[in-house]
Chain A
């Protein structure tokens, strides 16, 4: 990065934060601080919901996923529009009618205070533990590649997001997210067109798609019913809907975004904006990765994109083996490039048989190159088994730094930071609100002035911000912790969704039954987690189903017991 890139990075990030703080300056009442001034339009809500969900890792890692595995990952988002329709039709009108600040406040209205505390507690535990990851994950990738100090990257980006989130509350978060997502889109679209321009002459988009299809990178929809397949139409529609319903319907970081709408209509349109554009957005990011794959078929590429990890293991680990694998990879890639050049020539001259032969030969060379890359990853993993670093995370940033012009490098690095800060701000805003409304106001001080609650909300938001920064600094020493915390999130999500689905759809179930059912379901999920080896995504389904089924059973048993009691009293 040169001075221009740094100027774009610092100018944009500081400019957006300063503008948001200036625009939202002055006194706030609690409603204004937690839900905004009530003037937020549908576009801001839509972009804000999108920005909260899409973290920096979405934009850093997803192109890498497209590079490695093609478009199949897009199926994970097929259920999201269905979930957003359910949230818009069922969840949102109830939240707005009751004028709640948090989703968990609704549980208090519908059931009782203890169920509300349980919902809020599970959210705080899950989001609070994961608070540092949104800052840490992009910081580790960017600091590794740029040679920046990791701790300085974490502290600087963390303090910036804490400053404007604490200062302006919900409105500042929505306002910054609107501009930040604009920067992200501008960077990604610019990268896409520069990448297209850098493809070999005569290849173009259609030729790139033919080539990518030949390497099985365009298999976007898989109708297979095989449960071993990770991404299929069915897991995307069913599992994806389940996950999205948990996230958009019960996670306060999202609920707070759409509750800030000027009216029910604005909130609904904001959600429908996401329902329409979520799939094409993820497709576009994955397609970018697929085109990077095509680009690297004609350009020299490293056998392993995380150069820092590679250099370290060459110096301190099995250097000769890694050099041998790199040489085998380079030789296979050179052969592949020669065949692809001939394929391109045959394509131009309209010789289908030569075209097919060269494509088959290039695919064979690519298989050998891929085998060398897989073996390299295995050697590096054996040398550093505790590392969770994924080489796919480094594909896009390596392409950006090696092949994009200055200015655009600055814009894209800014886009990654914008994504990190926008999702972090949404989380901090939600953690501060839930701690204030569901814990402090509910348990510690029920009758205080609005001004007092606003001050406490700012304090709690800042506190969660410092916890996030501290965790991110500590995570440097324990990378496996990140995986554990991600899993922990899935372990809690299902039961929380179960609480809300019982509240909305099982009207005869009351607080005591659902409270004990949720606790028992959470214990069951934790027990299964420590004994089974199934994918942790299934715990969402198990937790929700168990919570609903046990609630019904417990309520029936309470009603039966009550009926007997009443009968006994009468006789």
Chain B
């Protein structure tokens, strides 16, 4: 398997491709929004 060029490396543990990084960011954003929803529900 060929190594990606230096610029394509993410340098992040467990996230080798940028697509994985973007997916991870989307999950984090979804978690933030979920936590905000939970806050609204917990303190009506």
Residues in B whose Cβ lies below 8 Å from that of A220: 36-37, 39-40
* Contacting residues, chain A, for B12 (C-beta < 8 A): 269
| Interface set of A (CB-CB < 8 Å, partner B) | 71, 74, 78, 81-82, 85, 88-89, 209-210, 212-213, 218-221, 233, 263-265, 268-269, 272, 275-276, 279-280, 283
A71–B40 alpha-carbon span in the complex (Å):
9
- Name 17 extra pairs, CB < 8 A, besides A264-B7, A275-B29: A71-B36, A71-B39, A74-B36, A78-B29, A82-B26, A212-B43, A213-B43, A220-B36, A220-B40, A263-B7, A264-B8, A265-B7, A265-B9, A268-B18, A269-B11, A276-B28, A280-B32
Q: Report the bound CA distance from A280 to B7 in whole Å.
A: 29
Contacts of B3 in A (CB 8 A): none
By the criterion CB–CB under 8 Å, are A276 and B25 in contact? yes
A-B contact pairs, 21 of them (CB 8 A): A74-B36, A78-B33, A81-B25, A82-B26, A85-B22, A88-B22, A89-B22, A209-B39, A209-B42, A213-B42, A221-B36, A221-B37, A264-B8, A265-B7, A265-B8, A268-B10, A269-B11, A269-B12, A275-B25, A276-B25, A283-B36
A269 to B6, CA, bound (A): 14
Q: Are A265 and B36 in contact (CB under 8 A)?
A: no
Report chain A residues within 8 Å CB of B43: 209-210, 212-213, 218
**Are B11 and A265 in contact, CB atoms less than 8 angstroms apart?**
yes
The answer for the CA separation of A212 and B42 in the assembled complex, in Å, is: 12
Asked whether any CB of chain A lies closer than 8 Å to the CB of B14, the reply is: no
What's the least CB distance linking A490 to chain B, in Å?
25
CB–CB A265/B6 < 8 A: yes
With A and B bound together, what is the CA distance between A93 and B10 in angstroms?
Answer: 14
Q: How far is the CA of A280 from the CA of B29 in the complex (A)?
A: 9
Q: How long is the Cα–Cα vector from A25 to B43 in the complex, in angstroms? A: 54
Query: Chain A contacts of B32 at CB under 8 A?
Result: 279-280, 283
B7 to chain A, nearest CB (A): 4
Residues of A within 8 A of B40 (CB): 71, 213, 218-221
Write out the residue numbers on chain B whose beta carbons fall within 8 Å of the beta carbon of A263: 6-7
Query: Which of A82, A218, A219, A265 meets B10, CB within 8 Å?
Result: A265
Q: Does chain A have a CB within 8 A of B13? A: no
Nearest Cβ on chain B to A71's Cβ, whole angstroms: 7
List chain A residues, Cβ under 8 A from B26: 81-82, 85
Taking chain B's interface residues, is the majority helix, strand, or loop, or is none over half, making it mixed? helix
Closest Cβ–Cβ distance, residue A220 to chain B (whole Å): 4
Shortest distance between the CB of B4 and any CB in chain A (Å):
11
A78–B34 Cα distance when bound, in Å, is 12
Chain A nearest Cβ from B19, distance in angstroms: 8
Interface residue tally on B, bucketed by range: 20 to 34
What separation, in Å, do the CA atoms of A53 and B6 have in the docked complex? 29
Q: Known: A218-B43, A219-B40. Contact between A81 and B33, CB under 8 A? A: no
Smallest CB separation, A405 vs chain B (Å): 30
Q: How far is the CA of A199 from the CA of B37 in the complex (A)?
A: 25
With a cutoff of 8 Å between Cβ atoms, the chain B residues found around residue A276 in the complex are: 25, 28-29
| B39–chain A nearest beta-carbon distance, Å | 6
Across the interface, which residues of A come within 8 angstroms of B28, CB to CB? 276
CA distance A85 to B18 in the complex (A): 10
Measured CB to CB, the closest approach of chain B to A169, in angstroms, equals 24
Query: CB-CB < 8 A to B7: which residues of A?
Result: 263-265
A78–B33 alpha-carbon span in the complex (Å): 8
A210 to B39, CA, bound (A): 10
Task: Name which residue of chain B comes closest to A276, CB basis.
Answer: B28
A218 to B39, CA, bound (A): 7
C-alpha spacing A375/B18, complex, angstroms: 54
Query: Residues of B contacting A88 with CB < 8 Å?
Result: 18, 22
A272 to B32, CA, bound (A): 15
Contacts of B42 in A (CB 8 A): 209, 213
A318 to chain B, nearest CB (A): 39
B6: chain A residues at CB < 8 Å are: 263, 265
Name A93's closest neighbour in chain B (CB-CB). Answer: B7
Residue of B nearest to A79 (CB): B29
Q: Which of A71, A221, A263, A269 has the most CB of B within 10 A?
A: A221
Q: How far is the CA of A74 from the CA of B36 in the complex (A)?
A: 9
- Bound: A265/B16 CA distance, A: 12
**Which residue of chain A has its CB nearest to the CB of B43?**
A213
Taking CB atoms, residues of chain B closer than 8 Å to A74 are 36
What 6 A-B pairs have minimum CB-CB distances, sorted nearest first? A213-B43, A264-B7, A220-B36, A81-B29, A279-B32, A209-B43
* Chain A residues whose C-beta falls within 8 Å of the C-beta of B18 in the assembled complex: 88-89, 268
Taken together as a complex, chains A and B put the C-alpha atoms of A319 and B6 apart, in Å, by 70
Chain B residues, CB < 8 A from A283? 32, 36
Q: Which of B9, B10, B22, B29 contacts A279 (CB 8 A)?
A: B29
- CB-nearest residue of chain B to A42: B11
Residues of A within 8 A of B8 (CB): 264-265
Cα distance A210–B44 when bound, in Å? 8
Nearest chain A CB to B20's CB is how many angstroms away?
A: 11
Inside 8 A of A264's CB, which chain B residues have their CB?
A: 7-8
A312 to B: closest C-beta gap in Å: 39
Partner of A272, one of B9, B21, B33, B36: B21
Chain A CB within 10 A, most for which of B7, B9, B36: B36
Q: Which residues of chain A come closer than 8 Å to B36, judged between CB atoms?
A: 71, 74, 220-221, 283
Do the beta carbons of A213 and B33 come within 8 Å of each other?
no
A516 to B17, CA, bound (A): 40
B16 CB to nearest chain A CB (Å): 12
Query: Shortest CB–CB separation between residue A373 and chain B, in angstroms?
Result: 23
